[in-house]
Every structure is written in structure tokens, then in C-alpha cells.
Amino acid sequence: MENAIEIKNLTKKFGDFVAVNNISFNVKKGEIFGFLGPNGSGKTTVIRLLIGLLDATSGSGNVLGYDIIKDNAEIRKHTGYMSQKFSLYEDITVEENLDFYAGIYGVPKDKINQRKKEILEMADLVGKEKLITGSLSGGWKQRLALGCAIIHDPDMLFLDEPTGGVDPIARRQFWDIIYNLSQKGVTIFVTTHYMDEAEHCNTIGFFYYGNVLLMDTPNNMKKHVGSIDKVKPSLEDAFVFLVDQKNNEVES
């Protein structure tokens, strides 16, 4: 199977409000796939639908071959999820957070120490095991949250706006880790509203109030508008262009 995610006509309504509007897309195995869109456009809702934390109103799909409606226990076993508000316990230590998530994800007892060691090294947290999580800087917390999300060595990782509120150096360090994971074959699904962050992705989907405007590589996205006006368009130019197009479509 070459796709990690296959989604068809997925819709989510909250009452009459359509948060996700009949979207279809595939994510290839091993790629870094980004959903780029403004706040409130439905990015978190899509992730929650994909990992079975929310039920779709209609549509279908699979993640790693598991049905998003029926097999959500399997999906959660094979995927990691780093939520927008890093779900760390602030009043316990770094190591206790890792132990907690190892328990949640059912990491076998004889593997826990090895995994913890790998994660602490990956996250540059060696020596900080006994620190209270709440005392860590934003970048450290972010890398610990990532470590907790992958303690069970998942095949696929969902990151919901993972670098909000951290400094540029920490963001760079975080993305280096993501590239490493990707090179090891982990498929990454990431949401962001930072244009520069979207540049890190192999494929991006422009997501705008429940709709996928366009899905392509960052370079092709820019070419899409490049032929129209600017000499060297940015991703932001492409996004603004497509949003205008969408709004004109709605008005006419």
C-alpha cells in the first residue's frame, strides 16, 4: 500500500455549521504532508476525524489501512498525536511524563527504558529527566510533547500546530527531528498557519474554512500563481490568490 491516508468526501458538521466540507485527499507513505490554513478553518477537526476522536457526519477513509470510522483503536495504536496544547502534565517530571505516555500507549515493560533513552537523546533532554515539566522552556516542552507522542514508535505522526509559541531556534531544532523521523519512514501529517513552516513539507494542502483549495508541492503552489502576476511569488501570494478566487466563486 503506498498511501498512508486515503480520505473520501469527508464532512463534519457541528449542528448546522459545516466545519469540514466534503474533502478528499491522499497522503503518501513516508511523506511530510502539511495542512496550511488560518485559525478556525478546521485543521484540528480534520486530525480528530482521522484518529477517531470525532465521528464524521459523512464520508469515509482509512489511515494506514485502518478504517477511520470502525478501527480507531488500531489507528491510535499505530499513530502518534501531538495536540495543539501539548498534553503534558506540568507538575510532574520529564521522566514521569514519558512513563505516563508509555503506559497509555502500552509500551512493553522491557522496552520502556530503551525507548525513554532514545527519546531523551532525540529531544536533547538528557540530564533533564528529573526536572519538573512546568519549569521547562517552550522549546523543551515542545520536544518532550513530541517524545511522548512517539514513545510507542508509531508509523505515522499527527502534529497539530506543533511550533506555536516557540522561538525560531527551537522551531529549527524541532523540524530537524521531524526530518529525521521522516527519513526513518514515519509519515508526518502536520497542521500550521505559518507559511514558512509549510515550506518544510513535501506536499501541502491549502485549507480554508472546511475546504481544500489546492494540494501540491510548495514549489508547484508558487508556480500556480507565478504565471499570473509576480516574478517570484511566495506561498503567501499563492494562498491569498486562491482565497480570492474561492471568495469570487462564492459571490458569483
Residue of 9, 14, 55, 244 that binds ligand ADP (CB under 6 A)? 14
Is 62 near ligand ADP (CB under 6 A)? no
Question: Considering the complex, what minimum distance in angstroms separates the CB of residue 137 from ligand ADP?
Answer: 25
Question: Considering the complex, what minimum distance in angstroms separates the CB of residue 169 from ligand ADP?
Answer: 26
For ligand ADP, the closer of residues 16 and 249 by Cβ is 16
Query: How far is the C-alpha of 112 from the C-alpha of 99, rounded, in Å?
Result: 8
With CB cut-offs between 5 and 8 Å by kind, which of ligand ADP, Mg ion, none does residue 45 bind? ligand ADP
List the 156-160 sheet strands across, edge first. 79-82, 156-160, 187-192, 32-36, 203-208, 211-216
Question: Considering the complex, what minimum distance in angstroms separates the CB of residue 117 from ligand ADP?
Answer: 34
Q: CA 84 from chain center: how many Å?
A: 9
Query: How far is the C-alpha of 85 from the C-alpha of 87, rounded, in Å?
Result: 6
For Mg ion, the closer of residues 65 and 138 by Cβ is 138
Binding site for Mg ion (CB under 5 A): 43-44
For Mg ion, the closer of residues 171 and 222 by Cβ is 171
Question: Considering the complex, what minimum distance in angstroms separates the CB of residue 72 from Mg ion?
Answer: 20
Query: How far is the C-alpha of 183 from the C-alpha of 177, rounded, in Å?
Result: 10
For Mg ion, the closer of residues 43 and 116 by Cβ is 43
Strand partners, 6: 26, 62
For ligand ADP, the closer of residues 45 and 163 by Cβ is 45
Strand partners, 188: 32, 157
Q: Tell which phi-psi region holds residue 106, choosing left (phi > 0), alpha (psi between -120 and 50) or beta.
A: left
For ligand ADP, the closer of residues 54 and 151 by Cβ is 54
With CB cut-offs between 5 and 8 Å by kind, which of Mg ion, ligand ADP, none does residue 39 bind? ligand ADP
Is 19 near ligand ADP (CB under 6 A)? yes
Question: Considering the complex, what minimum distance in angstroms separates the CB of residue 37 from ligand ADP?
Answer: 6
- Per-residue contact track with ligand ADP, 27 to 56, x per CB under 6 A? ----------x-xxxxxxx-----------
Is 80 near ligand ADP (CB under 6 A)? no
In the complex, which residues of this chain contact ligand ADP (CB under 6 A)? 14, 19, 37, 39-45
